[in-house]
């Protein structure tokens, strides 16, 4: 009987611990509703040296915003808010810097930076303005960096689009 009570007490204690730990659990997402239900995407402006980055970024942003359950992507005249994105910096830095590395010039880090603004068209006020968002990726190719850098552009723009959409849907 004594061992039965010990097991019962242990199970009760364990279930109590699980219940108390689960009280603060919540799914990730927007903590409160967004102040707008429709959004338009202004054409991405490319003021950087990133070759042809505006078009894939615009496409990926539109796809990700249209998949957000809290938003509806609409034309500019029908929207309550507009997202403005300007690519302003594209840098390359040597990634491999070891003296004994024979592939020194074949490994670089590329960084793409954008300034994002989200404007409420009903009030004319910016919910956030010129927020910098950047992503980096390592590029390595023994046959030449030009092809590898070009292929990496879609990866960079996809990751940048994810971060920008997180800024729109997240808490400001």
Neighbours of 90 (CB within 10 A): 18
Phi, psi of 89 (to 5 degrees): -155, 135
pLDDT tens digits, one per residue of 109-131: 889 999 999 999 999 999 999 99
pTM of the entire structure?
0.76
Is residue 9 in a domain?
no
Q: How many domains does the chain have?
A: 1
What's the rounded Cα separation, in Å, for the pair 41 and 68?
14
Computed from CA positions of residues 10, 11, 13, 14, in that sequence, does the dihedral angle turn out positive or negative?
Answer: positive
Is residue 5 in a domain?
no
What's the rounded Cα separation, in Å, for the pair 163 and 146?
26
Q: Cα 47 from chain centroid? A: 20
State both tokens at 44.
């991405």
pLDDT at 144 over 50: yes
pLDDT tens digits, one per residue of 9-43: 777 776 766 666 655 555 555 467 889 999 999 99
Mean pLDDT of 82-108: 79
Is residue 40 in a domain?
no
CB 36 within 8 A of CB 120: yes
Is residue 29 in a domain?
no
State residue 30's pLDDT score: 47
Cβ neighbours for 120, distance < 8 A, ≥ 6 positions apart: 35, 36, 80, 81, 126, 127
For every residue of 17-70, DSSP letters joined together read HHHHHHTT---SS-SS--S-SEEEEPPPEE-SS-TT-HHHHHHHHHHHHHH-TT
If one compares 108 and 106, the residue with the highest pLDDT of the two is: 108
pLDDT at 103 over 60: no
Mean pLDDT of 78-103: 84
State residue 84's pLDDT score: 97
Is residue 39 in a domain?
no
Give the CATH number, domain containing residue 110. Answer: 3.30.160.150
Is residue 78 in a domain?
yes
State residue 125's pLDDT score: 95
Average pLDDT, rounded, for the chain: 84
DSSP state of 102: T
For residue 101, name the pLDDT band (cuts at 50, 70, 90): low
If one compares 85 and 108, the residue with the highest pLDDT of the two is: 85
State residue 52's pLDDT score: 84
Computed from CA positions of residues 49, 52, 58, 60, in that sequence, does the dihedral angle turn out positive or negative?
Answer: negative
State residue 113's pLDDT score: 97
Is residue 19 in a domain?
no
Q: Which domain holds residue 115?
A: 45-169
pLDDT at 54 over 80: yes
Is residue 123 in a domain?
yes
């Amino acid at each position: 009987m004594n061992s039965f009570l010990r097991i019962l007490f242990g199970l009760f204690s364990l279930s109590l611990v699980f219940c108390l730990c689960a009280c603060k659990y919540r799914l990730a997402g927007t903590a409160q509703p967004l102040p707008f239900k429709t959004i338009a995407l202004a054409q991405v402006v490319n003021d950087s040296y990133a070759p042809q980055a505006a078009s894939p970024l615009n496409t990926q942003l539109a796809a990700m915003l249209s998949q957000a359950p809290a938003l509806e992507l609409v034309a500019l005249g029908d929207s309550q808010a507009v997202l403005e994105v300007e690519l302003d910096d594209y840098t390359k830095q040597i990634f491999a810097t070891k003296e004994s590395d024979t592939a020194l010039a074949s490994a670089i880090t590329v960084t793409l930076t954008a300034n994002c603004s989200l404007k409420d068209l009903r009030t004319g006020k910016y919910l956030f303005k010129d927020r910098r968002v950047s992503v980096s990726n390592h590029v390595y190719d023994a046959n030449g960096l030009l092809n590898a850098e070009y292929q990496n552009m879609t990866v960079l723009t996809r990751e940048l689009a994810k971060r920008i959409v997180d800024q729109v849907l997240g808490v400001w």
